[in-house]
Chain A
Amino acid sequence: MSKPDLATIQAVPDPLFIHEDALKISTFQVLDETGNVIQGIHEPHLEKDVALRIYHTMQFVRVLDERMVAAQRQGRISFYMQCLGEEAAIIASAAGLSDTDMIMSQYREHGALAYRGFTLEEFMNQMFSNECDLGKGRQMPIHYGSQRCHFMTVSSPLATQIPQAAGYAYGQKLKGADACTLCYFGEGAASEGDFHAGMNMAAVLKTPTIFFCRNNGYAISTAADEQYVGDGIACRGVGYGMKTIRVDGFDALAVYEATRVAREHACQHNEPVLIEAIAYRVGAHSTSDDPSGYRTKDEEEKWQKMDPVKRFEDYLLQKGWINLSEEEKRIEALKKDVLQAVKKAEKIDKPDLDQLIEDVYQTPPKHLKQQLQHLKDHIKKYPRHYPTTASRLD
């Protein structure tokens, strides 16, 4: 229905309200909890090398998350957010894209960046805010971005990337690029006005955007039942006139297949698609959060058993594509690499003080140059108070 038209409306004699349960959206699943293809479900085609790339990225993110949470506890970095429990949702969806599609994320999707080949050193440089950081040490840890990896730099304000993803994809359409934009966000962010704005704009302006919602049950301490009372996020996609699917976020194969088909649709028809992945945030919200204050151990344990990495591993074992002892060796080596990378990144100098005023504008205006000079004169006067920059001033 486009314009309302009384002449063609089907009238009813009673005040018939549609019940909220009229649209209960089902969940797409391929693998059961032991990694077997569920009986009666067509097994999606997944190339072996793509499957291994997904699996090895999952391992990488597990090791990285474990190590960096510990590094934060030791005070070596100021902040961290892990994606424990959501590895399949993130990494398998990235695998369903072309590597040159744009990804715009919230913050818990570094698995997609890892899948795109962001290096261990690049991750570390960002977290340690050293002079090799692409972001020049300006943002908090985990706010990654890379032009090379087609991964838009993360910003803290929630949901702002949603209408941006509509605009970015519109540009791709305008230029006739065979490309789309995938936009990740959590179910909490979907309560922001920018969710409504972006979804509706993408639908009306026909942009090749894949909206990917990680519904992991919590926005910090707020459980999903305090976030909305409708049927999750998926039902809203239908309301915006958008192709919509709900998928088991613990099932890498289902996520991969849903994203692959969504991409095909978005690119061929220049239309947005909504994917809602049902997951669980197994870890704390961030290193500044302690979930024991708002949820029970029993609940956490129930979900910990639904390990998405284990499920995909079981699938690959059945396929005969991996060998556990080799994988164990690989993980051990990975742990050593990460530890080394931490040590290396923390020894690299902080960015030069001049970086403070660069990139505010493309060229620093006069008043910023004056402010920097004033600051330098001040630091030279009190060098001991500014130890990281004082010794490096000319």
Chain B
Amino acid sequence: MAQMNLLQAINSALDIAMAHNDGVVVFGEDVGQFGGVFRATSHLQEKYGKGRCFNTPLTEQGIAGFANGLAAQGCYPVAEMQFADYIFPAFDQIVNESAKFRYRSGNEFHVGGLTIRSPYGGGIAGGLYHSQSPEGYFTHTPGLKVVIPSNPYQAKGLLLSSIFDDDPVIFFEPKRLYRAAVGEVPEDEYRLPLGQAQVLEEGQDITLLAWGAQVEVIQKAAQLAKDEGMSCEVIDLCSLLPWDQETVVQSVIKTGRLLVSHEAPLTSGFGAEIAATVQEHAFLHLEAPIARVCGLDTPFPLVHEKEYLPDHLKVFEAIKYSLNY
């Protein structure tokens, strides 16, 4: 075990993956000798050579297309999109190509080795284009897996699983936590299962659900609620596609209440999918409407970032509203 922040955990996962399999190739804008604008790929070129860790020209659609080809060839490309806000030029390659490669060819070809990593989320004064949480665009795409870790331990274990998973994975990293989140992380290889949620705290009165950087926000709100005698069950979803319906529905059947929280805008956010599914499977157990505490339906603002974000106080208020319903 070692103390690692989230970036170090990701770097450790990449290092282990590259040592484990010669087909693992890491690339993107500035990831080479420089080691990435966040330093997630530090020293990898030094260790594994320019052939396996390198800079690409500045073209997201090119990076995604190149990664698709490399994966179709049998390699394990780990492509970096510098910010999730800039993944949209690659949207066509990801949605029309990566996601449909195996299906459309009848499994003659596939890009199962593909992983796309990208820092996402707000809270760093990033304004419109260094703050977005685009997971909802991708969870609407059959064929993709979408994974978002919330701490260093998860980041390493989930990234290693994502790289060697048989399907293409979009791996969003909460950049606000890159250096802020520090924890015990095994130095050796370990993998955490995709598609499985994690119950962080057990509780009786309400289920709180989030992923990525938002997990610590709902934990903080759960603590405020606890101080006032309310018992919250806190779940970290970890994987959004496919997502762990069973764990969430079981929890709601027990507590009778659900609050989902994400940074992305409310309308058509992934919270809507969860709310609809839970009301279908736990209708007779629900004691209050399912609450969604999310970003506003606006572009991500600079000066009003604090007001925009679904912080612990907004979550706390929604918990009380639900319990008093």
Q: Please report A residues at the B interface, Cβ cutoff 8 Å.
A: 102, 104, 133-136, 138-139, 143, 145-147, 152-153, 155, 157, 160, 162-172, 174, 181, 193-194, 196-198, 200-201, 204-205, 358-363, 365-367
Contact = CB atoms under 8 A, between A and B. Distances in A.
Nearest to A166: B66
Interface in B137-179: 142-143, 145, 166-167
Contacts of B63: 201
A136 B106 CA distance: 5
Contacts, number: 153
Given A201-B59, A359-B103, A362-B166, A152 B72 contact: yes
Interface of B: 23, 25, 51-52, 54, 56-57, 59, 61-75, 77, 89, 92-93, 96-97, 100-110, 112, 142-143, 145, 166-167, 195, 242, 245
Given A155-B97, A360-B103, A363-B166, A147 B108 contact: yes
Nearest to A351: B106
Contacts of A204: 56-57
Most buried by A among B62, B63, B67, B89: B62
Given A152-B72, A157-B97, A200-B57, A163 B65 contact: yes
Nearest to A173: B51
Contacts of A193: 61, 89
- The A interface, classified by DSSP as helix, strand, loop or mixed, is mixed
Given A153-B104, A200-B62, A160 B93 contact: yes
A156 to B, nearest CB: 8
6 cross-chain pairs, A with B, having the tightest CB-CB distances, nearest first? A163-B65, A167-B69, A197-B62, A171-B73, A164-B69, A153-B105
Nearest to A126: B106
A16 B72 CA distance: 46
B59 A205 contact: no
B313 to A, nearest CB: 35
Contacts of A174: 23, 25, 51-52, 75
23 contacts: A145-B108, A145-B109, A153-B105, A155-B96, A157-B97, A163-B61, A166-B66, A167-B65, A168-B73, A170-B25, A174-B23, A174-B75, A193-B61, A196-B59, A196-B62, A198-B66, A201-B56, A201-B57, A360-B103, A361-B166, A361-B167, A362-B167, A366-B242
Given A153-B104, A363-B166, A160 B96 contact: yes
B105 A166 contact: no
Contacts of B242: 365-367
B65 A166 contact: yes
Nearest to A164: B69
Nearest to B102: A359
B106 A134 contact: yes
B57 A167 contact: no
A146 B84 CA distance: 34
Contacts of B145: 361
Given A166-B62, A166-B65, 19 more contacts: A134-B108, A145-B106, A147-B109, A153-B105, A157-B97, A160-B96, A164-B72, A164-B97, A167-B69, A168-B72, A170-B66, A171-B75, A194-B62, A205-B54, A360-B142, A361-B145, A362-B112, A362-B167, A366-B245
